[in-house]
Chains A and B, each alone.
Chain A
Amino acid sequence: MKIRICIIAAVFALVAVGSGQALAASPTLDSIKSRGALKCGITTALAGFAFADKRGVWRGFDVDFCRALAAALGVKVKFIPTNAKERFPALQSGEVDVLFRNTTWTLSRDTRLGFDFAGVNYYDGQGFMVRKDSGIKSAKDLDGATVCVNAGTTTELNLGDYFRSNGMKYKAVVYETGTEVRQAYEAGRCDVHTTDASGLAAQRSAMKVPGDHIILPEIISKEPLGPAVRHGDNEWGDIVRWVLNAIIIAEEKGLTQGNVSRMAISTKDPEVQRLLGKTGSVGDDLGLDPDWALKAIRKIGNYGEVFERNIGKKTPLALARGLNQLWSKGGILYAPPVR
């Protein structure tokens, strides 16, 4: 007992000494730099958004944004897969620096959970998927259905709201991970699979016969998915926000993975010059190198490229740009100016 106590005391003494360091402008950025790696929280497995390929390399839409952020900082990236229940404690406790994990921006998460959302990288909405042979054509026909849903998500709450407000009954069966939800739905435990529409497309692509399932037309909620950081470190929040914006602006300005290095030298557009560090001091202002955006874009390309590569028309998910088109082309993707 006493020995144990001594050990504990020693540990705490060490911890107390270790915690006495002075706080710099962005503690998160400092610890990332000293560690040499960004710890990026992603989902455990969601085709197109974040999944490990055969060789164990992480790929996907959210994964690409992690890579861009790490490239802008000039550090390596370490992916930390989390399930729905682990993600918030992981961010709160500092196990991850940023959460790129189809997390919906909501008021209570912004306040009660102690987060800040640095923007939106995918505008989504909740949908329903059913078996084709069930003959269901609309979400209004779902009265009495059994619904499989991921525990502890906004979709779980929207589901309740939707059925309640439409006076319909349902039975929810909840699981911890998206994979479990998919398996349960596919085995016939539920009639309906619900999550964000993009997630449904991803899940459908991972099924044995994707063609047997259809996604109903109704979108029952707004699900702005974006990167979350801890509340209180605004400098770090700024960095995440502007790396995301840089990727969006790159598409606006026609910068691609292929041409961005050339453009950095030849461009005449003053905003691009500022963005890519040719003029001005935006890199300094963020506490980064001048070529931060150049490195990020060189790593993953612009928003359109990331989208098409991971979840676009040519992928098994076959998602349309929809809301996630630039504002100038009918979507709502709109990045503030670099000035």
Chain B
Amino acid sequence: MSGEIIGAVPPLEAGPPKMNIGVVGWIRMNLFNTWYNSILTVLSLSLIYYTVTSLLNWGVRLARFTGVKPEDCQGIDGACWPVISDNWAFFMVGTYPYELRWRPLMALLVVVALIMLAVWPRIRRMRLYQLAWLVSPIVIFIIIKGSDTFGLSQVDTRHWGGVMLTVILSVVGIVFAFPIGLMLALGRRSRMPVINILCVGYIEMIRGVPLITVLFMSSIMLPLFFPEGFNLDKVLRAQIGIIMFAAAYQAEVVRGGLQGVDRGQEEAAMALGLSYWQSMVLIVLPQALKIVIPTMVSSAISLLKDTSLVVIIGLFDLLGIANLVLANPIWLGKMFETYVFVAAIYWVMCFSMSRYARRLEIRFSAGDR
């Protein structure tokens, strides 16, 4: 960038001016390099100081951590954390029957165990392990819902709630929305006008309306679409709405990936005599999906956040449980604690996923070089 003449470069031993290296130098360079940056630095520092100290005072110094009764919180200015500890199980699994709470815990253990096993590449490549992943959703469903054949008493979905319901709605939503979205994306690229119009119509209609109207449709209108006596569970109806909604967005994500694959690839596949489906499954989709995996993780994050809307149609997901706890007169006025706690759970889930997406992005772009 510099246009200096070689001969003008100062001898190396002189080094840069003292104040530009080391901690002090860094601070000067980055925080106080101009007069307005100095002002901004001072302002930012005071903002940070104010926020951090008041949060610490409220959340730690003046807060009450022990005790399970609301009376334990009388006369303190800080946070009342017993509202969380007392309702812990509530936040996690909702109104799931007290004596059956080991079942969601076991389901969690199954998932954690499977994830832990993935650490060893040898196990990861084993057929049995991959099969276990495929079977796990059914096992988890049976554990949580219960099944008479396995001697587990049925737990009505009305008792599903908290983190458990939030995770179920988002995971099932994304898993089922993906194949539908894939089909919609292929349909949207199709040269057959009818299929094209149907898919574009569906995608654009769903993307043009708010999720809450889709949820209203699935929870209020859906029952009227079926003959009398055909009843869908309330949670299932919400889940259908979420899948319908997510599928349209997944379709757009996949379409982005398909556009990223050169048309020549498909044409080459056709020239080799592969059928449409063969060329898609063997040539185009593997490349397209690889491109969009990070985007897909982001859309999974959005979906996780969006599931909080089921609270409006009366389900008790994590956010719904927060409101339920706050409706209890003995925990009146503990809004900050409850919402901060719930926000922290959502944040941990979403932030870790977004970091993961970023890592994937870097890894894939490294592979493409």
Contact = CB atoms under 8 A, between A and B. Distances in A.
Q: Answer whether A and B touch in the complex at a CB cut-off of 8 Å.
A: yes
Given A15-B230, A18-B230, A93 B223 contact: yes
B220 interface: yes
Contacts of B198: 1
A86 B229 contact: no
Contacts of B220: 86, 89
A218 interface: no
A3 interface: yes
A19 interface: yes
Contacts of B199: 1
A86 B314 contact: yes
A95 B223 contact: yes
Interface residues of A, number: 33
Interface string B35-63: 00000000000000000000000000000
Most A Cβ at <10 Å: residue of B183, B220, B229, B230:
B229
A112 to B, nearest CB: 15
Most B Cβ at <10 Å: residue of A16, A45, A52, A93:
A93
A118 to B, nearest CB: 19
Contact of A83 (B158, B314, B327): B314
A19 B183 contact: no
B183 A93 contact: no
B174 to A, nearest CB: 16
Interface string B195-226: 10011000000000000000000011001101
B183 A94 contact: no
B98 A19 contact: no
Interface string A80-110: 1111001001001111000000000000000
Contact of A27 (B183, B229, B327, B332): B229
Contacts of A89: 220, 223-224
Given A1-B187, A1-B198, A94 B231 contact: yes
A36 B188 CA distance: 47
The 9 closest A-B pairs by CB, nearest first: A93-B223, A19-B227, A1-B187, A1-B183, A89-B220, A179-B327, A94-B228, A31-B229, A206-B329
8 contacts: A3-B179, A15-B227, A15-B230, A19-B230, A27-B228, A86-B313, A94-B231, A208-B329
Given A3-B179, A94-B223, A95-B231, 6 more contacts: A1-B186, A56-B98, A56-B159, A94-B228, A95-B234, A176-B312
Interface of B: 95, 97-98, 156, 158-159, 179-180, 183-184, 186-187, 195, 198-199, 219-220, 223-224, 226-231, 234, 312-314, 326-327, 329, 332
Interface of A: 1-4, 15-16, 18-19, 27, 31, 44-45, 52, 55-56, 78, 80-83, 86, 89, 92-95, 176, 179, 183, 186, 206-208
